[in-house]
């Protein structure tokens, strides 16, 4: 990994605010061009940054973009780079079909485009762009690129289906199926599956710092969710949301808060269909069948 990286930056032409930076994997000075630049709304230039100390917080938007690239390039795992304060460093950007611009300048952009044969599209207004415009991971399938932010960490063999969502500083450590939402700070182990509509509470949920993870060969059923970590070979029944404060009856008959079971392996969480209470039983998580090897190894 290079000790310094060369990136191409776009800035707002009027205010000088940084809009984005692209750091090519090749570390070459590759210039980008877009209509927004040609029309005079943004300007491009090169920046050179040294790799950050993982423990110190970022100091600029350029620094943040380098860290997000490093996560998506798999150079660092989620939660190993300090990202404190990144929201204050990044500007809201209108990610348009002619290049990034400040949202306040979209009306001006429309006027300047009136004599250009182009239908303006604005997929999002956000601080983060989609990952695939900056980093294209190897051996990964992404059905809807709009749902994967720059800074997502997707290991080879990962499949993100159309309703799957992966935020920055989150992702997978091996072959995985994502049909639900993987939020900041969350890491999924090899051969894990987040079912359709399922959700995992991340470090941004309620401003908390709790880092949740999903162990190897674990399954979160459709429309289920967790606010705790799952160890290896765990299953959460479809439709069941287990928060840290959920009362769960253990295999021994004791009722505890779910946080006391966080990270334990070999558990099936389910709701008793007669009493409505949440219970967990010891199980072999591999009994759900696991991932389709052909699907994930052919990425």
pLDDT score, position 291: 55
Q: What is the mean pLDDT of the chain?
A: 92
Give me 66's structure tokens. Answer: 């380098």
Confidence of residue 284 (pLDDT cuts 50, 70, 90): low
Q: Tell me: pLDDT of 204 over 70.
A: no
Give the active site residues.
179
Res 297: pLDDT: 62
Q: How confident is the model at residue 227 (pLDDT cuts 50, 70, 90)?
A: very high
Q: Average of pLDDT values for 180-206?
A: 89
Segment 93-137, tens digit of pLDDT? 999 999 999 999 999 999 999 999 999 999 999 999 999 999 999
- Closest by CA position to 27, among listed 4, 51, 60, 44: 4
For the cut 90, the answer to whether the pLDDT of residue 235 exceeds it is: yes
Confidence of residue 3 (pLDDT cuts 50, 70, 90): confident
Contacts (Cβ under 8 Å, ≥6 apart) of 233 = 215, 216, 217, 218, 265, 266, 283, 284, 285, 286
Q: What is the widest separation between alpha-carbon atoms in the chain?
A: 73
Start-end of H helices in the chain: 35-38, 61-72, 86-89, 106-112, 293-297
Beta partners for 277? none
Confidence band, pLDDT 50/70/90 cuts, at residue 205: low
**What's the confidence (pLDDT) of residue 251?**
84
**Whether pTM exceeds 0.85:** yes
Per-residue pLDDT tens digits for 145-173: 999 999 999 999 999 999 999 999 999 99
Whether pLDDT at 285 is above 60: no
In the predicted model, is pLDDT for residue 206 greater than 60? no
Residues 32/44, Cβ–Cβ less than 8 Å = yes
pLDDT of residue 203 exceeding 70: no
Place of tokens 């479809």: 238
- Residue 52 is predicted with a pLDDT of 76
Q: What percent of the chain has pLDDT over 90?
A: 86
Q: In angstroms, what CA-CA distances link 257 with 243, 260, 271?
A: 9, 6, 15
The residues near 83 (Cβ < 8 Å, ≥ 6 apart) are: 57, 58, 64, 67, 168, 169
For position 2, what pLDDT does the model report? 58
Q: Render pLDDT for 35-75 as a digit per residue (tens, 0 to 9).
A: 999 999 999 999 999 987 899 999 999 999 999 999 999 99
């Amino acid at each position: 990994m290079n000790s310094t990286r060369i990136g191409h930056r776009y800035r707002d032409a009027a205010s000088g605010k940084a809009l984005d930076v692209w750091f090519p994997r090749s570390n070459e000075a590759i210039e980008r061009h877009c209509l927004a630049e040609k029309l005079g709304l943004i300007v491009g230039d090169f920046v050179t940054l040294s790799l950050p100390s993982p423990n110190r917080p970022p100091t600029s938007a350029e620094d943040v973009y380098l860290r997000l690239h490093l996560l998506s390039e798999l150079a660092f795992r989620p939660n190993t780079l300090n990202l404190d304060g990144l929201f204050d460093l990044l500007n809201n950007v209108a990610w348009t079909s002619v290049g990034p611009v400040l949202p306040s300048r979209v009306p001006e952009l429309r006027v300047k485009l009136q004599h250009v044969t182009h239908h303006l599209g604005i997929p999002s207004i956000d601080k983060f762009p989609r990952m695939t415009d900056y980093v294209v991971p190897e051996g990964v399938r992404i059905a809807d690129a709009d749902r994967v932010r720059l800074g997502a960490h997707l290991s080879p063999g990962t499949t993100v289906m159309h309703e799957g969502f992966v935020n920055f500083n989150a992702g997978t450590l091996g072959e995985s199926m994502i049909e639900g939402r993987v939020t900041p700070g969350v890491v999924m182990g090899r051969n894990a599956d987040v079912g359709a509509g399922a959700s995992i509470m991340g470090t941004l949920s309620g401003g908390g710092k709790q880092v949740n993870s999903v162990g190897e060969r674990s399954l979160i059923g459709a429309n289920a969710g967790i606010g705790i970590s799952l160890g290896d070979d765990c299953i959460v029944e479809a439709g069941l949301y287990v928060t840290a404060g959920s009362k769960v009856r253990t295999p021994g008959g004791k009722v505890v808060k779910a946080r006391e079971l966080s990270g334990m392996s070999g558990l099936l969480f389910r709701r008793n269909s007669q009493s409505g209470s949440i219970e967990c039983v010891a199980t072999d998580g591999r009994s759900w069948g696991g991932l389709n090897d052909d699907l994930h190894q052919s990425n």
